[in-house]
Structure 1
Amino acid sequence: MLPGRRPFAAATPAAPIAVFCVVAGAALVAALRLPATVTVLGLAMFGILHNVLEIRYVSGRFAAILTGRFLGLLVVLITGIMLCRLVPMLSWSAPAEILLGYAVLGVACWWGLRRRAPLLVAALAFLVLAAGGSLAFPAYHFVFLTHLHNVVPLFFLWEWARELRQGRAAFRATHVVWVLLIPALILAGTFDAWVGGDQNGAAAAFAGGGERLMAAYTPPAWLDTAFALRLLVVFAFLQTMHYVVWVWFMPRYARPATERFERRAGALRGRRAWLLGLAGGALLAVLFATDYAGGKTLYGAVASYHAYLEFPVLLALLAGAGDLTGERE
């Protein structure tokens, strides 16, 4: 904590709650009216930046777990996933990514449950069964993973709220509403009358067509149903809120995590992480403009690290593996 700065835990979370409510309302309207535009432009503008800032938060906040051989093994496995994503058209790339992804989960289970053998055996058995299902239905696996990534901030926000001395329940309830309730209402068709048609417009055409865009967020069996457009709206909404969490909230209200990260990675102190994210985003935007498919492939590869690094931390949290932050409440 910087000298003279009052910990946020000493204050009420009224201001961020209000901001999240206002932003969620605006994001919902934008996602309903322009789902394809919000999805495509959001990725181009904030994709790389939120990658950098999320990795900064997670590796700083959970420095107690992301260290030593455990971190080294995760980096090796996730680098393998990145290489698979760089060659997505090869027949072995998708199965290899699935297996490496479950290997990441297996390593995380081992770390969190290594002192509880019965639970570890049960967890590994479940992962084996799940891996079999994912290999049998890879398209469903990747769609599920895509949407799950946008739900993950709820767990980090929930864990972060341990620091609040008051207003914790209201803070957590606010995030449950936008992460779970609003998407459920969208999927139920509550807002169908307000959904726009830009999935057949310029943004969708730029991304290779509306059907191709929606296929990335829809299980194959639902592509010709109303759920396809609803899932695109859900993704556009949650992606926007996802960026708000990592680009605005965590940098502003989780400064101790940033300071801990900067002690480990001095080269990215201060504004350098932001400059890295903005510069990478600018380069990606240029690539998107000239070759959207190539840009999406490159982004997917780079995003492997922030997407897959979340899961070991979450599994360790759920396993109750002690104080993963290295801090006391």
Structure 2
Amino acid sequence: MLPPMTATAPALTRTAVNLPALGMAAAATVALAAALRAPLAATVAGFVVFGALHNVLELRYVLGRFAQVLTGRFLGVLVGLVTIIALCRLLALPRTEILVGYALLAAASLWCLKHRPLLLAAAIVLLAVAAAGSLAWPAHHFVVFTHLHNIVPLFFVWEWSRSPAVRAVCVGWVLVIPAALLAGAADSLIRVDGPVKFSPAATPLLDGQMAARLLAVFAFLQTMHYVVWVWLLPRYAPSATRRFEERVPALTGWRAWALGAIAACALALILLADYSTGRGVYASLATYHAYLEFPVLLALVFTLRKGQQS
């Protein structure tokens, strides 16, 4: 059983509690307008400006906030598996990536449920069934994975904040607004502003109006995903940063931001030279922050005790 987490964020005053909620609500309003009228421009511009930076800041938060989860031999196993996934993306081996991705989930399940054999057995069976489906329909797998990655911040914000306002706003932008868009509530406002190949949400599985809805949903969720990792948690969860800096002194203070900015500039240069190559390089490096989220989520569900979030 994982030891209880220590409080890693100070108690917030009534005024401070509302600032994150108001900020996210304002950001969601702007993000929704951009996603409806120019989804591809919002997707590409956000990716170029914030893609690399949010990778660095998310890893900083997760490695700081959940230091007792991502540590020791377990962290070594996860990093090794994610490195294989990164290589699979560079070499365009999607089915191998799927297999290794499920192996990572199996390793995380074993770590979280090693003292709960019935739950572990159920988890392994579920993963085996899901893996079979993913291998049978790999295009579906990556579309679903891409969209799931954008809603993961809901769980991290929920774990971090006790504020009903913050949680309500997060549920609104993660679940309610995307559901309304997919149901067609804003069809008259959606405008596809370029070739769908420039969006990670592009899929041969759907076309017509549903494809346009998915593009808008992805642009909206990606923008809000960046808001969480680049503004909300760096601003309002400084204790996670402090814990990370204790682990990695070389990236204290402004250095993490500088690393993200340098990576963003390098990525922009590659994208300008060859957009497809830039996307491939980014997708490979982004596996570290994307795949490390899921073992942490499993730990949150199965091992972290109630009442230990700050």
Letter in 2 for 1:246: W
**SS across alignment from 2:277:** helix
The TM-score with structure 1 as length reference comes to 0.88
Please state how far the C-alpha of 1:322 moved relative to its aligned partner: 3.0
Establish whether residue 9 from structure 1 lines up as the match of residue 12 from structure 2.
yes
- The offset of 1:10, in angstroms, is 4.0
SS at match of 2:185: coil
The CA distance in 2 between the partners of 1:297 and 1:151, in whole Å, is: 22
Amino acid at match of 1:179: V
Q: How does 1:43-192 map to 2 (within 5 A)?
A: 43-88=47-92, 93-161=93-161, 164=162, 168-192=163-187
Give the distance between the partners of 2:198 and 2:135, measured in 1 at CA.
23
How many Å separate the matches in 2 of 1:127 and 1:9? 39
Query: Contact 2:245 / 2:251 at 8 angstroms: preserved in 1?
Result: yes
CA contact (8 A) 1:105 1:311 kept: yes
1:311 has 2:306 as partner: no
The offset of 1:62, in angstroms, is 0.3
Q: Structure 1 residues 94 and 276, CA, compared in 2 at 3 Å: closer, same or farther?
A: same
**Number of residue pairs matched?**
301
Distance 1:189 1:41, change over 3 A: same
- Cα deviations across residues 266-318 of structure 1 (Å, max 9, x unaligned)? 01010000000000001101111110000000000000000000000001111
User: What amino acid is the match of 1:82?
Assistant: A
Aligned mates of 1:143, 1:16 — CA distance in 2: 30
> Residue 23 of structure 1: CA displacement?
0.9
Is the CA contact (8 Å cut-off) linking 1:317 and 1:324 kept in structure 2? no
Whether the 8 Å CA contact 1:64–1:324 is kept in 2: the answer is no
Q: 2:5 is matched with which residue?
A: none
| Conserved? CA contact 1:62–1:324, under 8 Å | no
Match of 1:26 among 27, 30, 44: 30
**Structure 2 counterpart of 1:105, which letter?**
L
Distance 1:49 1:324, change over 3 A: farther
After TM superposition, give the deviation of residue 221 of structure 1 in Å.
Answer: 2.8
The equivalent residue for 2:304 is 322
Structure 1 residue 159: Cα displacement: 0.4
Residue 243 of structure 2 corresponds to residue 260 of structure 1 = yes
Assess, with a 3 A threshold, how the Cα gap between structure 1 residues 136 and 155 changes in structure 2: closer, same or farther.
Answer: same
Aligned CA RMSD, in angstroms, stands at 1.7
Q: Is the 8 A contact 1:65 1:324 kept in 2?
A: no
Alpha-carbon distance between aligned partners in 2 of 1:73 and 1:185, rounded to the nearest angstrom: 40
Q: CA deviation at 1:213?
A: 3.3
Find the residue that maps to 2:201 and give its secondary structure. coil
8 Å CA contact 2:196–2:202 kept in 1: the answer is no
Task: Tell me, in whole angstroms, the C-alpha distance in 2 between the residues paired with 1:257 and 1:221.
Answer: 40
Q: What is the percent sequence identity of the aligned residues? A: 52
Once the two structures are TM-superposed, the CA of residue 112 in structure 1 deviates from its matched residue by 1.1
One-letter identity of the residue aligned with 1:9: L
Structure 1 residues 95-122: Cα deviation after superposition (integer angstroms, max 9, x where no partner): 1100110011111111111110000000
Q: Which residue of 2 aligns with 1:212?
A: 197
- For 1:283, the equivalent position in structure 2 comes to 266
Specify whether residues 140 and 40 from structure 1 end up closer, same or farther in structure 2 by C-alpha distance, changes over 3 A only: same
Paired residues of 1:287 and 1:294 also in contact (CA < 8 A): yes
How far residue 219 of structure 1 moved from its aligned partner, in angstroms, is 4.6
Return the alpha-carbon distance in structure 1 between the equivalents of residues 296 and 185 of structure 2.
35
CA distance in 2, matches of 1:218, 1:110: 34
User: Which amino acid in 1 is paired with 2:114?
Assistant: R
